[in-house]
Amino acid sequence: MPRVVDHQERKTMIANAACMVIARDGLDAVTLANVGREADCTTGTITHYFHDKEEVLTAALDHAIETMNARMVRRLKKNPEDVLGFLCETLPLGRRGREETKVWYCFWSRAMHDNHLAKSQRSMHLRWRTRVRDLLLGMQTRGVIVLKHDIEDEAEALCAMINGLGLRATLDPGEWPAVRQVRLLEDYLSRLQTA
């Protein structure tokens, strides 16, 4: 009788370990040995669950995204009109946020030259942007903001702004305490309220 192991749970654990390594030491530090050390298993175990390294990386990205997404969803469920709170989940505000966004950002440069990762990133971005768009629509409906331009463009612009803020905050954390990130995001949103 084979040892009973939840296959999917094991994969997730390894993907999570990979995320830890990425967040701590960067994508270039991701070796199967390092991931194994973090996940407390050997390289053999990893290749048992993943065909090759690329699959591990993809799983790591997916894991980070799903975790972030889950938090966003949870937040929205609590209060569907808390747009700022929702958006803040994608900024590196706390320790958790910093880790997750770092993983996300690390894959940007790789996605530029890896079609597979690029697709993954695009579909993930699409989902995020769609939600952002719907929230903007809701705000407009409620009269909170007035969108002067194409709604898709507005959503894209907001996403770009958030990515830009998060990036800068990650590259220069000393200059970017949470309050400053939030303040600049609020400033951006406040400009949309103009009649």
Partner DNA sequence: CATGAATGAGGTTTCATTCAT
Partner DNA sequence: TATGAATGAAACCTCATTCAT
Residue identified by tokens 């390289």 is 43
Q: Which is nearer to its own copies, 76 or 192 (CB)?
A: 192
Determine which residue in the list 106, 132, 136, 145 makes contact with its own copies, applying CB under 8 A.
106
Q: Which is nearer to its own copies, 86 or 176 (CB)?
A: 176
Residue 125 contact, options DNA, its own copies, none, Cβ 5-8 Å cut-off depending on partner type: its own copies
* Sole window of 52-60, 71-79, 82-90, 144-152 interacting with DNA (rule: CB under 7 A): 52-60
- The single-letter code of the amino acid at 143 is G
Query: Per rule CB under 7 A, is residue 110 in the interface with DNA?
Result: no
Query: Per rule CB under 7 A, is residue 182 in the interface with DNA?
Result: no
Q: Which is nearer to DNA, 23 or 184 (CB)?
A: 23
Query: Per rule CB under 8 A, is residue 183 in the interface with its own copies?
Result: yes
CB 104 within 8 A of CB 64: yes
Please give, one letter per residue, the 3-state secondary structure of 64-128. HHHHHHHHHHHHHHHCCCCHHHHHHCCCCCCHHHHHHHHHHHHHHHHHCCCHHHHHHHHHHHHHH
Query: Per rule CB under 7 A, is residue 113 in the interface with DNA?
Result: no
CA–CA gap between residue 148 and residue 163 (Å, rounded)? 22
CB 169 within 8 A of CB 188: no
User: Where on the chain is the footprint of DNA (CB under 7 A)?
Assistant: 1-5, 7, 10, 30-33, 41-45, 47-49, 51-54
